Structure 1
Amino acid sequence: MFELRRLRLLHELAQRGTIAAVAQALAYSPSTISQQLSQLEREAGVALLAPDGRRVRLTAHGETLAAYAARALDADEEIRGELEDTRLGIAPVRLAVLQTAARALVPAALTLLAERTPGLRVEISELPPEEGLFELGARGFDLAIAEQYPGLTRPHRSALDRDLLGVDPIRLATARAIGPLADLAEHAWVMEPRGTAAREWAMQQCRAAGFEPDVRFELADLSGHAELIAAGHAVGLLPDLLWAGGAPPVHLSALPGDPAREIFTAARRSSRNRPGIRSVREALADAFVARRV
């Protein structure tokens, strides 16, 4: 019989690519990871890893066992979820959340959970959507709040279950009323870092308007975007969730087509029926609706 703990290490290696990355994610030393994987090789009776420069890669046998490991971990989550039906709160819910949802939705959702399921522990980390979804798939989190921009697609992850919370309008943000998007070719822009869906979408909007934006400022923190824009140093594209019920310090104008991003929760299909995860999802959905009332 294979030990589930060692199978998870192989699964993590298949997801993350290096032993160092697995060690960092699971808070083990690289030597411990290597020792456990060597033990798994002895149990399997075949080579699972092969040298690849200064790293290692999975052999064909390793890839086969890693795929089995994913199924075994899913089965483990499913049975734990069924057992948890009788003891809500037995396991905490680890939530990865994007910045705007952390401000606009999480406080209200936690208030609802404190009333509805006071024994449930929720642990929250703020992560960019791309990282949050990856870590969810790698079992670093149980639930993630992420975003989908209009016209952009994400890699399809069949192991994840999505549940739409709602749509969040995106508007042109300037210090004062200075004209439509097409008139801002000569202005400095603030955008999220390269590689994010938000950055790619914003670049597409500017190009569709006929210009390549002068991205002078790259910030992951959207409140920093708002401050730069309010001070007159840049213009940008910002979602309504950022204001979290407060008055925006910038002038907001509609964009062509009135675009909006989708805000959704994602969970692994193997754990989506856990009572704790269902409770958190319901509270987040109610918080999203309540913010509009």
Structure 2
Amino acid sequence: MRISSVQAVPRALLCAPLLSVVLLSACDSKPSVPTVASIKLTGPNGPLLLDTSTKLGVSVTGSDGLPFAQTATFTSSDPTTLSVSSDGTLTARHLTAAASPVIITAAVGGKSAVTTVGTYGLDVVGGTYTSAGNPAGYSFTATFRDAGGLTLTSDTDYTVQGPSTFNKGKPLTGTLYAANAVTFHTGTDVPAVSGSYTASIRVGTQSYTKTFTVDASMLLPLPSAAVTLSRSGYSVSGTLPAALQEAFLNVTANGSSVRRSAYFSALPTSGPWTSTLPAGTYATGIFARSYNGSQMGAVVFPDQINRSYADTGTVTVP
């Protein structure tokens, strides 16, 4: 019987196909791509002075523990007060509402971080003032708060310098009253002029400035109203301008310190006096404005505040 011979195969060759599969599998695997692990946002140390800018600090860390090279997106909870640009530059435009700092958010890769920022300084906005038979005049609204959140402790003058055609190129002077959170100054003796304005005030040893613009074509129409007075109260009927936020009835007696006022935002309206109105003849008028003055200090200034006034005649209270 013939026995057939079988040639031995080296062990290394038998293992070669298995080894190549393992090597190919290793070559096909890809390293994991880092994702955002955390983001840190650093704001200014304390409130930001009006009309100044500062840049936010942002640090983004990836899941591999290394800096993550991706640009954050910035947003402001109130860009009319404190705006933020795409590169993280903050600009203080108006005073924040009392005890309500603005929330700034930086977001990247599904992660976000926030910081709160307040503002301080002199805040002034301009506008127009209209009344029957007069050209459109100016209207300035001003307030002040220092870095510590304090208002003025004494009456302080401030100046407003406008375009060369405003007030013949000369500055106007107004007074910020310590007893009032916000002060209005209006006049038809100086016509309103469109352009850029700069307000200035000196408080203690520090000077503050605020720039703003006025659009002299933006006019608040006059109220059309009739007023009735009694010793116990008042009533007003008629129509108010559509752009109005607040109106108030002004009642004065010539040669007397007697004065009454009432605030409202729609007509008709009526209400009682807090004390009895003495008998006499009173001059009455309705002031209208595109800003809610009864909430001054609690809400942020808009970029322009316009006012108008309608004389509603004299009323005799028996």
Q: TM-score range by the shorter chain?
A: under 0.3
Higher RCO (Cα < 8 Å, 6 or more apart): 1
Between Structure 1 and Structure 2, the one with more strand by share is 2
**Greater CA radius of gyration, 1 or 2?**
2
Between Structure 1 and Structure 2, the one with more helix by share is 1
TM-score, L = length of structure 1 = 0.23
